[in-house]
């Protein structure tokens, strides 16, 4: 019995590897097991090496895992590139029709299975490259003693409804894989400890889907976007989902139009969403400034990828933080949030909608490529508690209507509102007075600039200080944001087991930041900010730079990386090691 297992499946993108991963993840979710997946897809459309990694376990799973316990290699190139990822004592199951490994390497157990020919035998000649994935899934089901009836049910749901022969072939291949005689590796192998039943429904999905559904739960019914990896799945889903709720998502001709259409929705009284990856965010900047000035609420999602420019379009990076906070002309305060895992993508979208409405501000959500595509299982949200049904308020505006009071919240009168005082509002990007009339009065510009900034100060005051994970005081504090949450926590757990006193905090609110951080910082000797961006000219990553300028605390130092891959636990630990010995 083991607590958890990391399975890496390596092949080419057209082999349906993502499908196996998705099915395994869903199975884990349904059996109360925890799961995190990780995948790479080549940026070219067809072919090219691809992997899917699933970590399933009975406890809390935080990261996709540094090393694999089990490797399935479809091709020679898959074998060569990934055998180094297998832990010592791990099992390598390979397609003996394609791969000829050096089996004298005693660190691993090699299990040859003629995946290609056995699948053809099971399904028939046309199946040559199709169905290998289902055969492999059948094998994994028997090796890991997974819940076969449930898996069959999930497969049937996935492939049912279409051409009947597709489901039949999928099940033929799956059953053949399941029945394939593997001999004594079954004794060697892993049986996962049964998970403690939570009694609650669990769901498994990826970060982009969770984000799209969070927007819906938060009462967002309108949006516009332009396709770009890895943001597109959010817009594709909203395009299909929103009409059911009486809303719409528009595919625009470019990002400038996308944010403008979204602002048109918001101005009309329907809080809207737009999004993109970094390059598209650059194009949205001028309009974002207008949203801050006109105080029109808006949600903007940036699913970050490797930059600058087209950069590494299918890799992960956290290098758009400064852009999110400062990337426009003028003093342009806006809210920036970042979800920590897939489940949080759902809740942060709801929070973004709440903040945008309450303060009439643009809110940027910084997701990233890793979060967007990986699948995690989590407890199904209690929709009765979180669901927001938006209402368009067109009740007549009072005679003393004042959209931008120097103290107090913004009050918009969307078009269609009867103005009792007889004077109708023009919403503008020019500096304006409390009534919205353009003015270049120096005193008013100062007051209005402060007014826009103070909205964020009021928000700051209501934010909770992030909880401390680990020792309440000690040697080291790790600070993270975004998708590094899991690996940072695991690093803390591993180092605490070694007797070190340390902790981690994770910032979900990046602008404004929650109050009370300085008090937390005071309790540790060293503070390391872990982030996937460059250390810059002055040796600090983007969040570290912000924290240093905010707290003037020289204890704050950076552990950065830019290889386009998620942080491994050992990379975090060795990053700390570079400053102070922790792995002696």
Partner 1 sequence: MSTITIKRPETSEPVAKLDKKALSADHPTWCPGCGDFAVLASFFKVVQNLGIPHEQICTIAGIGCSSRFPYFVNGHGVHYIHGRAIPLATGVSLSRPDLNIFVFGGDGDGFSIGGNHLEHAARKNLNLTYVIMDNFVYGLTKKQTSPTSPVGFKSKTDPWGAQDEPVNPMRKLVASGATFVARTHAAQINHMSEMFERAIKHPGFSVVEVLSECVVFFKGSFDAANPRKGGEFPLIPEKQWDESPDDWKAHDTTDLSKAIKLAEDPWPGKFGVFYEVERTTKNDNEHALIADAQAKVGNASSQEILAKRFARMR
Of 414 and 474, the one with the shorter C-beta distance to partner 1 is 414
Of 67 and 417, the one with the shorter C-beta distance to partner 1 is 417
State the DSSP H helix or E strand holding residue 580, giving kind and residue range, or none if neither.
none
Q: How far is the CB of 363 from partner 1 (least distance, A)?
A: 18
**67 in contact with partner 1 (CB under 8 A):** no
Q: How far is the CB of 34 from partner 1 (least distance, A)?
A: 15
Q: List phi, psi (to 5°) of 572.
A: -65, -45
**267 in contact with partner 1 (CB under 8 A):** yes
If you ran DSSP here, which 8-state letter would residue 468 be given? P
**416 in contact with partner 1 (CB under 8 A):** yes
Of 361 and 492, the one with the shorter C-beta distance to partner 1 is 361
Buried b (16+ CB within 10 A) or exposed e, 347-377: bbbbbbbbbbbebbbbbbbbbbbbbbbbbbb
**290 in contact with partner 1 (CB under 8 A):** yes
Q: With CB under 8 A, what is the number of residues at the site for partner 1? A: 71
**156 in contact with partner 1 (CB under 8 A):** no
Assess contact for 210 and 34: CB atoms under 8 A: no
Tell me which residues in 337-396 interact with partner 1 (CB under 8 A).
380-381, 383-384, 387, 389, 392, 394-396
Q: List phi, psi (to 5°) of 151.
A: -65, -45
Q: Give the chain's largest Cα–Cα span.
A: 88
**430 in contact with partner 1 (CB under 8 A):** yes
Could you give the angle at which helices 255-267 and 278-294 cross, rounded to 10 degrees? 30
Q: How far is the CB of 331 from partner 1 (least distance, A)?
A: 17
Q: How far is the CB of 38 from partner 1 (least distance, A)?
A: 19
If you ran DSSP here, which 8-state letter would residue 275 be given? E
Which position among 8, 82, 222, 305 is part of the footprint of partner 1 (CB under 8 A)? 222
Of 169 and 373, the one with the shorter C-beta distance to partner 1 is 373
Q: How far is the CB of 240 from partner 1 (least distance, A)?
A: 9
Which one of the spans 71-79, 242-250, 303-311, 401-409 is the region binding partner 1 (CB under 8 A)?
A: 242-250
Measured distance CA(263)–CA(541) in Å, rounded:
32
Q: Beta strands of 269-341 (E only): which ranges?
A: 272-276, 298-304, 335-337
Neighbours of 442 (CB within 10 A): 9
Which position among 20, 39, 176, 262 is part of the footprint of partner 1 (CB under 8 A)? 262
Q: List phi, psi (to 5°) of 225.
A: -160, 175
Distance in Å from the first CA to the final CA of the chain: 31
**428 in contact with partner 1 (CB under 8 A):** yes
- Residues 200-219 vs partner 1: string with x where CB under 8 A? -xxxxx---x---x--xx--
**29 in contact with partner 1 (CB under 8 A):** yes
Measured distance CA(379)–CA(343) in Å, rounded:
8
Of 259 and 556, the one with the shorter C-beta distance to partner 1 is 259
Assess contact for 490 and 542: CB atoms under 8 A: no
**261 in contact with partner 1 (CB under 8 A):** yes
Assess contact for 185 and 143: CB atoms under 8 A: yes
Of 411 and 526, the one with the shorter C-beta distance to partner 1 is 411
């Amino acid at each position: 019995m083991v607590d958890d297992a990391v399975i890496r499946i390596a092949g080419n993108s057209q082999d349906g590897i993502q499908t196996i991963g998705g099915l395994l993840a869903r199975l884990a979710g349904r059996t109360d097991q925890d799961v995190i997946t990780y995948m790479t897809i080549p940026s070219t459309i067809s072919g090219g090496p691809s992997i899917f990694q699933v970590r399933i376990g009975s406890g809390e799973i935080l990261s996709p895992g540094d090393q694999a316990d089990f490797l399935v290699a479809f091709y020679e190139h898959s074998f060569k590139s990934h055998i180094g990822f297998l832990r010592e004592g791990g099992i390598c199951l390979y397609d003996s029709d394609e791969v000829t490994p050096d089996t004298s390497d005693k660190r691993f157990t090699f299990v040859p299975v003629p995946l290609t020919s056995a699948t053809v035998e099971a399904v028939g000649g046309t199946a040559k490259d199709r169905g290998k994935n289902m055969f492999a899934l059948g094998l994994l089901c028997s090796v890991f003693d997974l819940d076969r009836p449930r898996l069959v049910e999930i497969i049937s749901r996935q492939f049912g409804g279409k051409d009947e022969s597709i489901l039949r072939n999928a099940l033929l291949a799956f059953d053949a894989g399941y029945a394939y005689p593997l001999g004594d590796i079954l004794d060697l192998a892993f049986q996962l400890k049964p998970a403690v039943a939570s009694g609650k429904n669990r769901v498994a999905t990826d970060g982009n889907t969770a984000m799209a559904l969070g927007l819906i739960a938060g009462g967002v019914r309108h949006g516009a976007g332009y396709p770009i990896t890895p943001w597109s799945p959010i817009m594709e889903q909203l395009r299909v989902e929103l009409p059911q709720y009486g809303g719409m998502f528009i595919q625009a001709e470019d990002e400038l139009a996308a944010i403008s259409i979204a602002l048109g929705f918001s101005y009309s009284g329907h809080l809207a969403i737009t999004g993109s990856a970094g390059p598209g965010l650059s194009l949205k900047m001028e309009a974002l400034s207008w949203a801050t000035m006109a105080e029109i609420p808006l949600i903007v999602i940036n699913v970050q990828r490797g930059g600058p420019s087209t950069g590494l379009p299918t890799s992960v990076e956290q290098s758009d933080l400064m852009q999110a906070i400062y990337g426009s002309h003028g003093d342009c305060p806006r809210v920036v949030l970042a979800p920590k895992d897939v489940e949080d993508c759902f809740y942060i979208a709801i929070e973004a909608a709440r903040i945008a409405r309450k303060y009439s501000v643009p809110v940027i959500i910084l997701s990233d490529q890793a979060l967007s595509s990986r699948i995690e299982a989590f407890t199904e949200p209690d929709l009765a508690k979180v669901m927001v049904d938006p209402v368009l308020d067109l009740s007549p505006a009072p005679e003393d209507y004042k959209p931008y009071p120097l103290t107090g919240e913004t009050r918009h009168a969307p078009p269609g509102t009867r103005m009792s005082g007889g004077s109708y509002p023009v919403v503008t990007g020019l500096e304006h007075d409390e009534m919205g009339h353009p003015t270049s009065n120096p005193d008013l510009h100062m007051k209005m600039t402060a007014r826009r900034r103070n909205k964020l100060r009021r928000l700051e005051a209501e934010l909770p200080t992030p909880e401390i994970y680990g020792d309440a005081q000690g040697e080291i504090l790790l600070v993270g944001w975004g998708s590094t949450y899991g690996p940072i926590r695991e690093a803390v757990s591993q180092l605490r087991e070694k007797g070190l006193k340390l902790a981690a905090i994770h910032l979900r609110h990046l602008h404004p930041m929650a109050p009370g951080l300085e008090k937390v910082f005071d309790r540790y000797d060293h503070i390391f900010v872990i982030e996937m961006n460059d250390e810059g000219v002055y040796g600090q990553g983007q969040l570290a730079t912000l924290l240093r300028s905010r707290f003037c605390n020289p204890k704050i130092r950076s552990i950065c990386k830019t290889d386009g891959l998620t942080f491994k636990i050992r990379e975090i630990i060795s990053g700390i090691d570079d400053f102070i010995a922790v792995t002696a």
